[in-house]
Amino acid sequence: MRILLLALVALLATAAPAAADPVKPDSTIFTVTCPGTPTFSVVGTGAAGHVLGSTSIAVLLSGTLTFFEDGDQVDQVTFTNPGKGSPTLEPCSAFAQFIANGVTVRIEISNAAILLTPPRR
C-alpha cells in the first residue's frame, strides 16, 4: 500500500495544465510504447499526462499497473474506464522509475488502452 501512495503522490504532484514540455525536476516521466506509433514520453499527472514534444494529452483508460520497490513487486491493480467510442491505442505498455524517500520505485503499465488527443494548433 505504501508504494501505491508514493506512486499516486508522485503522479499527482506534477499535475499542471498542458503546456510546452512541462517538465519539472520532480516530474515522473513514463516511456510509452504502442503498436503502430513511435515510442513517446508522457509527464505523469494522474490518469492523463502531457506528451513531451507535443501539445497532445495521453489519457490512460485501462490497464494493469504493477508497482515495485527496490526491485520487489509490492502491488498490482487492474482497472477499466472505457471511453465513449473514442479511438484508442492498444495494447500499450509504459514504465517510469524514480527514487522516493531513498527507495527506487518502478511503475509498469501493461495491456493499456490510451486515448491520445490530437495536437492543438
One-letter identity of residue 116: L
| pLDDT score of 85 more than 80 | no
CA distance 45 to 99: 17
Read off the pTM. 0.76
The x, y and z cell numbers of residue 56, run together, are 497532445
Mean pLDDT over each residue of the chain, to the nearest integer: 81
Q: How many Cα atoms occupy the beta-carbon half-sphere of 27 within 13 Å?
A: 19
pLDDT of residue 47: 80
CA distance 67 to 88: 24
| pLDDT score of 20 more than 70 | no
Query: What mean pLDDT is predicted for residues 8-29?
Result: 52
Over residues 95-111, the pLDDT tens digits come to 999 999 999 999 999 99
Length of the chain: 121
23 vs 117, more confident: 117
